[in-house]
Amino acid sequence: MKKGKPYLILILSILIILTGTSILYASGKKPSGSVVFALRGQNFASAIGGDHTYIKWLQPWVQALHEPMFLKDLKAKIVPALAESWETGDGGLSIKMKLRKGPTFHDGTPITAHDVKFSIERYKQDKYRMVFYKELQMKLKSIEVIDDQTILFRFNEAYNQFWDRFFEYYEIIPKNYIERVGDDYYSKNIVSSGPFKWVGYKQDVYIDMEAYEGHYRKVPEFKNLRFIYVVEDRTRLAMLKTGEADMMVPGPNHLNLLRKDPKYRLVEAPNTRTLGLAFGDLIRPGNWPIKDRRVRMAIAYAIDRKAISEIALQGATEASNSFLAPWHPGWTPERGKPIPYDPEKAKALLKEAGYPNGFSTEIAIQPTMKQEVQAIAGYLAKVGIMARLNILESGAWTELCFSKKVKGMIWRDAWWNARSHPTSPLDVQLTLKAPWSCGITTQRVSDAIEAVGRIPLGHPDLARKAAEMDDIIQQDMPRVCNYSLKNIVALGPRIEFYGLIDGFIVPTRTEFIRLK
């Protein structure tokens, strides 16, 4: 068996983690105080499927309540959590994990390989419709419990998303407890293994937790944690100012205001998600201007990404271009340089393509995207491209994407969320079978992504092949990147420290919050 190359620092990481915990206890401190964290208005039930037993969409509360097999440090590197070591074999088609001895669920029972097997097999079932259940069904061949601390996963094909999924979504829940009490009871009396224990919630309003003093890795320094969901940006800002919230996710319109006030600090993590335009007319029957790559390049040159990032979005984004993220093998600073703003070149390309007076089109967006896309439409109008905003509610926008009948353009992602493998974000965004491609890709792009997806992390050819994949996407141009989004949290005067994971779109690691 071949030891996983990216994980040679396991022992050092474990010592650091254990030392930090022991220092807390040696000082005689017990968790005290409380923190209120105001989040954007995400529906709580929609994130947990209504039964609290699996993760449908990742949210900040998830890793406060649940403990993953792996963690990511502040630089987005995979480090041990419940799994203290692992080995890969069979050319990446098997992974054997050794669980750490000592971690317990919140009821005090030890976490074993049987709980891991139970959790993953549960996520795989049609019944629970976990967001990646079809992926698990396709890629996971078998799970074998070797002993209480050892588990072996076998795969039907390369599963490079494995590491990220285990960090983000495949949380470990208690087999014996759930089998004894049933799903319905468990949904109201959650027992898990994270740094915080479940206390209760009010639907669509808040979730309450308290520190788990038996946590093996990091006992929080404060006792009570409340995540409160607030839709309006102005309301979250008011809560921070009045002290009703200690920290919050700010809207772009308030970033400069917060930067100017010395009572507040902004914590930022760059490169969480690249936002751009997908060209629906590329695959729509008919002779549409956008089918001509010169027109797509004209659209790219017409947009002043730097101005939109700095002025309209107040620094919430950075102009960007590459379909590789900065941490991916194959990325270089040159690749990350945004397409320059050059309206004269845009006009020349339109004229060359046969559209000297421009043309009319549309951009499908959700209401939350309106601010930045209005700015983009304004820039397009300056070169003669009149882009109407087709504003759709989330469900209708998703339905349009899945229909593969997008007219004009649609606002889409490129890569996101600190995924480790270069194809881990793209395989659900730009392949022909990807649900979120909206059908807007090419056979060549799809083939390139799937080919690179078969190359495991650490392979000497990965960087070169990933760079070639990025080149193919840029050449065929089913999408154009505009900028990468930052993860930003505003801290009130009571908070001494809070850190965000580079490239990770969700604010997690709440157990490391320090109060003044």
Express each pLDDT in 395-431 by its tens digit: 899 999 999 999 999 999 877 777 889 998 888 889 9
pLDDT recorded at residue 391: 96
pLDDT recorded at residue 201: 85
pLDDT recorded at residue 25: 40
* Global confidence as pTM: 0.87
pLDDT recorded at residue 28: 55
- In angstroms, the first-to-last Cα distance of the chain is 48
pLDDT recorded at residue 53: 53
Q: Reduced to 3 states, what is the DSSP secondary structure of residue 161?
A: coil
- CA 72 – CA 371 distance, rounded (Å): 32
Half-sphere exposure of 262 (CA within 13 A, CB side): 0
pLDDT recorded at residue 235: 96
* Domain 2-250+492-515 classification at class level: alpha beta
> For 88, phi and psi rounded to 5 degrees?
-105, 150
- CA 63 – CA 58 distance, rounded (Å): 9
**Span 25-60, pLDDT tens digits:** 434 589 999 999 999 865 555 545 445 455 556 788
Task: Give every residue of the chain whose pLDDT is below 50, as ranges.
Answer: 1-27, 47, 49-50, 52
* Helix (H), strand (E), coil (C) string for 77-119: CEEECCEEEEEEEHHHCEEEEEECCCCECCCCCECCHHHHHHH
CA 377 to chain centre: 27
Q: Is residue 363 a contact partner of residue 410, using CB atoms and an 8 Å limit?
A: yes
The boundaries of every CATH 3.10.105.10 domain in the chain are: 273-484
> Residue 119's closest CA among 213, 31, 186, 204?
186
- CA 282 – CA 299 distance, rounded (Å): 14
> Residue 500's closest CA among 265, 151, 172?
265
Rg for the chain (alpha carbons), in Å? 24
> Residue 482's closest CA among 286, 291, 336, 334?
336
- CA 442 – CA 465 distance, rounded (Å): 18
Pick the CATH number of 273-484 from 3.10.105.10, 3.40.50.10420, 3.40.50.300, 2.60.40.2310: 3.10.105.10
Instruction: Tell me how long the chain is.
Output: 516
pLDDT recorded at residue 380: 98
Sign of the Cα torsion 131, 133, 134, 140 reads: positive
**Span 114-148, pLDDT tens digits:** 999 999 999 999 888 787 888 899 999 999 999 99
pLDDT recorded at residue 54: 55
pLDDT recorded at residue 233: 93
Residue 314, C-beta contacts closer than 8 angstroms, at least 6 positions apart: 252, 253, 254, 255, 256
The boundaries of every CATH 3.40.190.10 domain in the chain are: 2-250+492-515
